[in-house]
């Protein structure tokens, strides 16, 4: 039988998923390394739309690592808009007061979901070289304002999907800057945050994937002939039976000839023995007659 045809996946899609433990993120947010972790995972544009509890944690970190700023001194958050970029001590108010545990819990859930989402995006785009800062996880409404409503048309039609997270990818291809949108889903359950991403490629599929797979031939009986080359069974059976009958007849004739030759030989042998016997008897009678 010919080898089976290998059919590649018809769509250039990739699926990525990841899971993150919320407790580990919460433990880091209580340490002086919290600001470093937040700025390492989130890009400046993401801080503009970050969870308020996460911003409170980010503002609370300088009090642990350095003296609090003066009332007229501003605190740099790293965002791009005035709302998220600079805030004074008077604006933050109770942000420098001891934070309630639920603030760390909510901030950890948000940051763990973003971490899992970015890991899922990287897994769903193995053909791209991505980092945490080249992946922006933003609400659909914010992405529509940033890149245009045609990027997320469903955000204007369905208010419920306006806050759904989406991924904006920035990468370089053939020496040119490019951007791409990916679908992301984030979920939280107790101490775990999970995320799934669907990515795609715009490159054509590999042509060698549609070739037949070469397999080693197995030791089996030879395949039957194709129907169009097969002869009718009656046509093949008739010559075979005739040939067998002729062979049997020829063998019978050969056997009869051999039998007849054997009988002739036996008769000649018997005649020879009779002649020799008569000759011997005549030789014995000769001396008697002479006497």
The string of pLDDT tens digits covering residues 240-257 is 666 767 777 777 777 777
pLDDT of 219 reads: 59
What residues have CB less than 8 Å from 122, skipping those under 6 apart? Answer: 16, 130, 135
| Side-chain half-sphere CA neighbours of 289 within 13 A | 6
The string of pLDDT tens digits covering residues 97-130 is 557 888 999 999 999 999 999 999 999 999 899 9
Is the pTM of the predicted complex or chain greater than 0.85? no
**Per-domain boundaries in the chain:** 13-153+161-203, 243-290
The string of pLDDT tens digits covering residues 172-186 is 888 889 999 999 999
Assign domain 13-153+161-203 to its CATH architecture. Answer: Alpha-Beta Complex (3.90)
pLDDT of 220 reads: 61
Task: Using a pLDDT cut of 70, give the percent of the chain over it.
Answer: 67
pLDDT of 15 reads: 95
Q: Over 70: is that where the pLDDT of 226 sits?
A: no
Q: Which residues of 83-114 are buried (b: 16+ CB within 10 A; e: fewer)?
A: ebbebebeebeebbeebeeebbbbbbbbbbbb
Q: Over 80: is that where the pLDDT of 222 sits?
A: no
Mean pLDDT of the chain: 75
């Amino acid at each position: 039988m010919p080898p089976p045809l290998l059919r590649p996946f018809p769509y250039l899609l990739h699926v990525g998923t990841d899971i993150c433990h919320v407790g580990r993120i919460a433990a880091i947010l209580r340490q002086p390394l919290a600001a470093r972790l937040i700025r390492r995972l989130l890009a400046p544009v993401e801080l503009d739309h970050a969870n308020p509890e996460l911003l409170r944690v980010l503002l609370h970190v300088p009090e642990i690592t350095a003296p609090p700023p003066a009332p007229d001194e501003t605190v740099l958050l790293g965002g791009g808009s005035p709302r998220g970029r600079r805030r004074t001590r008077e604006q933050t108010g109770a942000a420098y007061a001891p934070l309630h545990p639920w603030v760390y819990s909510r901030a950890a859930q948000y940051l763990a979901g973003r971490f899992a989402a970015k890991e899922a995006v990287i897994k769903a785009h193995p053909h791209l070289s991505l980092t945490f800062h080249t992946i922006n996880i933003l609400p659909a409404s914010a992405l529509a304002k940033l890149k245009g409503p045609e990027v997320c048309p469903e955000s204007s039609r369905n208010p419920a999907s306006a806050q759904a997270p989406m991924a904006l990818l920035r990468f370089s291809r053939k020496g040119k800057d490019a951007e791409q949108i990916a679908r992301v889903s984030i979920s939280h359950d107790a101490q775990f945050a999970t995320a799934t991403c669907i990515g795609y490629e715009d490159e054509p599929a590999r042509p060698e994937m549609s070739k037949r797979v070469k397999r080693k031939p197995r030791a089996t009986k030879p395949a039957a002939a194709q129907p169009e080359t097969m002869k009718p069974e009656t046509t093949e059976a008739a010559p075979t039976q005739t040939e067998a009958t002729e062979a049997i007849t020829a063998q019978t004739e050969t056997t009869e000839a051999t039998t007849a030759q054997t009988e002739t030989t036996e008769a000649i042998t018997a005649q020879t023995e009779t002649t020799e016997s008569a000759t011997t008897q005549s030789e014995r009678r000769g001396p008697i007659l002479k006497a």
